[in-house]
Amino acid sequence: MKKALKIVLSAALAMLMILACAACSGGGSGSGIVGGTWNIQYDRSQFPSMTAEEASATEAYLAQMKLSITFNADGTASVNGVFSATGVSNASGGGIAKWTQSGDKITLTSDVSGSSPMVLTLRDGKLWFDSAMVGEQAAKIMYLGR
């Protein structure tokens, strides 16, 4: 159960960080193949070895996380998300961030003082979160897909 809890807490923390980063306004320039709306998804085949109970608990928590990012042609990104789980404070939010693409790296930046850019990597048609932002375990399973 500890593995499942660690993954869930990492994913929840990542979700809160993403929502905090999105609480900004701004413009920018962006182009590339990532345009459109992407939604958070999970690669369950990448779960570390878990018991059936751990996998079930992880699935239940992950199902309560919703995140979508729309990459607009004008270089802005609309970010919307909700996380609500039993025993965890609910979080929801949205906002506008700036985005740029350089090769397979997509960077979202916020005007919020002290916030760090969010870097995503385009791989196999999916946008993967950076492990420095979401943690090693969450980075293995969380991505944005269409």
Ordered mean pLDDT values, 10 residues apiece, the chain (146 residues): 54 52 40 78 77 80 82 88 61 75 90 80 90 78 86
CATH of domain 2-145: 2.40.128.300
SS3 120: strand
User: What does pTM read for this prediction?
Assistant: 0.71
Q: Identity (one letter) of the amino acid at 97?
A: A
In the chain, DSSP finds a helix count (H) and a strand count (E) of 4, 8
C-alpha Rg value of the chain to the nearest Å: 15
